Structure 1
Amino acid sequence: MKKNINIIIVAVVALALGLALGFWISDGESKGETLVEEHDHTGEAMLTSEGDEIWTCSMHPQIRQNEPGDCPICGMDLIPLSENTSNDPLVLEMTEEAVKLANVQTTVIGKESNAGGEKITRLSGKVQADERLASSQVAHVPGRIEKLFVTFTGEPVRKGQKLATLYSPELVTAQQELLEALRLQSTSPKLVESARNKLRYWKIGEETIATIEEKGEIQETFTVYADATGVVTNRRVSVGDYVRQGEALFDLMNLSRVWVLFDAYEEDLATISVGDRIEFTTPAVPNRTFSSRITFIDPVINPRTRVASLRTEVSNPNGLLKPEMLVYGNLQNKTKSGVVLTVPKSAILWTGTRSVVYIKVQDTAIPSFRFREVELGERLGDQYVVQSGLEPGEEVVTYGNFAIDAAAQLNNQASMMNREVMLKGSDHQEHLPDYTDQTPIAFKQQLADLLGQYLSLKEAFVNSDAEQAATAAAKVGTALNSVDMSLLSGEAHMYWMEQLQALQAHSDKISQLLEIETQREQFDFLSQALINALKVFGVSEGTYYVQHCPMAFDNKGADWISKEETIRNPYFGDQMLSCGSVEVFIDKDFKISTAQVAAAPPPNIHNH
């Protein structure tokens, strides 16, 4: 489901971008003029050079016109830029028309009384053989197989049943010793018992031994009897084969009792315990419900499917349940009683290990919605328990949140993919995890390959070449697909997945855009994600420089990565090529806790 959500998000963003680009191209061709937004250090950038008011769209703030009208992308009324007063990257402002167009619906959340009781969790699984009931039928004496009474896989076998006859020279010799000992019994009585024990150790029955003694004749072949009941899962011998003592003839599996293994997702494990009851059905046995209890919970999560196995044991005397049958079960477990804060399921945007909601900002002239990450607990029907991130009385978006998130993504505000926006300008880097020691060299080398493509993209921006940047960004996307994320495990794997989403989204956008300044906006976010990855996972060799331009994006500042200490600014190119300084350098000894800051950064020289 998470994968499908991400696909929907990218599709919405791509559609909006396509419409915006189409407008820019057609508008430029028809009017033959371009509106240039100059750096304004006073913060009053809502007027043109002639002093006219600038009009924009609250849903698509990249639209700039010097007269009122309709947004060419969504058709909403444009508003004066001066009314768009929020500088918070976590808050998206919209007009009333935008809210209606997105059909935004909200719900005020509050605490609910949870009386406890039975909670039903739906599970799927398979029937498996009970490993403890597996056995092998072996030859107790060496010899040649003369005849087989069990000849195919799947044949049922009962304990004591005839399986085969074999000829054994060793048994012939042992019988001769027994008969000779009987003749000397009067002088050496212990020899008789010793000869009998030798035959007993080879699983020769007392009746057979008595017959040999009474008749005084040697038997040339002996019958092998089944030591256990079960179904033949593997026939290892054929007629004429010579087998050694202890060699397996058949593999048997007793199916009178079977395991039923259910898959449980990580988020459900907190409420599952040994002893919980599961009722299940299988399409192979219609109109029949089976009941069992959990006897074992697998302590290891499957890294590929992200589930743990729940084992139940079921009596199967009639063989109705066969290994590999599909089953569907309902787990009944108890929920804790108490008062809990809950949020509707429809309000949640799932993004891997994180969950996101949008909250309506109260008492604002323009409808505004705040990006918020939340931590969720167990599911209660169509609600989720909120563990952190929300307070009672807050108004969350329950419908239209995908449209809001797509608009925030397009506007370079905090969203599911643009999480790094809210971290810019903060001390977040000091709280980054450190996986440098546990990251394999092979993964660090793949990061170096990715950085090679990134540096080519940076040079395209230094040259202010939009076409070259689009081509280089596509190569960055190809390099991302070549990174083997299976080299990472646990939390390191999940952290890379988060950065990968941002890297893929912004490199794709750069490759689709045609205007250098909008490409540079995406390059800023791509750089933030890659800088974090570089700090968290480390490098195997060489030195990389994290450089900063304080003038970028109306003095908000922006970072990038360079292989050389010399400043070559990708956000201004020839206009201010040397504007910037080295903030941190990263080499194979880099640690986040002891970040290596440039001792003597070059001065900020602005070449206009």
Structure 2
Amino acid sequence: MAGKPKLIVAASLAGIVLLGGVAWYINRAPSSAPPPAEAASNGSEAVVETAAVRIVAMADEAAAVGTLRSNESVVLRPEVSGRISAILFREGTPVKRGAVLVELDAAVQRAELQQTRAELALAESNSRRTEDLFERRFVSQSARDESASRLEVARAAVELADARYRRMILVAPFDGIVGIRQVSVGDFVKDGDPLVNLEDISVLKVDFRLPETLLPRLRVGQALEVGSDSLPGERFAARVDAIDPLVDAQGRAAVIRASLANPEGRLRPGMFARVRLILQERPAVAAIPEEALVPAPGDAQFVYRVVDGRAERVNIRTGARRESLVEVVEGLAPGDEVVTAGQLKLREGAAVRVVADAAAEAAAD
């Protein structure tokens, strides 16, 4: 039992000596990794693209969608029943105002008109004879008045018969293009039946809605641009013609009507239209490319500004946007250089290397 404590002491001493040797070996081995600060100082630069804050002309504008309408549009309908005797137009072709488009069978009305004209001629002859006799005192004043009255009745009968006859002929009320007819020669139509539509598309109207908050900035004659998905990339100049005095109580929006020239007929009524209304022209606005913006929590946005070869995070306030440019209201000054590509690998104070094309530079590396 006396020799057991001696063994424990010997084992402990051996362990202490072993640990000391290991520590001495580790302290003498060369370090393979630099300290964190040194590693950070030797890090590579981030390759980025930049753009300068520049002054551009930018307009305050409002965007909306609307529908194109004909300048004038009508569906021809007969006022009386009858059988179609002639169709005097070709579908889809232009016609002039007053051109006869459709004729109904007017044999009865034509005969009535001829009869009343004959009666008018007789009444005029009798009236002249009565006047001559009255001047020679062969007839009384009452006979003269009766003859004049019969003459007026005959004239009214002619006008009535002529009106009935003209109702059998349908004419174009304005210059336009006739559409697709719904009837054929020989069809019997009732009063009010649709025959054909007539559209004036030399000038088009576009109706759209804007929020009531913009009403103080709207006025008749304002310029706007109209585009259509059927003609991508093209814009047509228009102007405001009228502002509806009634604001929609449900949508809190006002209806605006504008007009635009359409001499070539490329736009058609019923098309979907995209409207850009220019509220105010501003000749000097600080702007940056949209791709420079980096979203932050909430509605905040920031950019990285390059100062002395390093990235500096700057919170900004933006305004209007137009053609991939964003107005900078606060945070940057004209001439400041902001990062437009490579923001994801940046942090505050990071070293940057500016290239004209970051993708090409990365490929070369």
Larger radius of gyration: 2
Q: Which has the higher helix share?
A: 1
| TM, length-normalised to structure 1 | 0.32
Asked which structure has the greater RCO (Cα within 8 Å, sep 6+), the reply is: 2
Q: Which has the higher strand share?
A: 2
| TM, length-normalised to structure 2 | 0.48
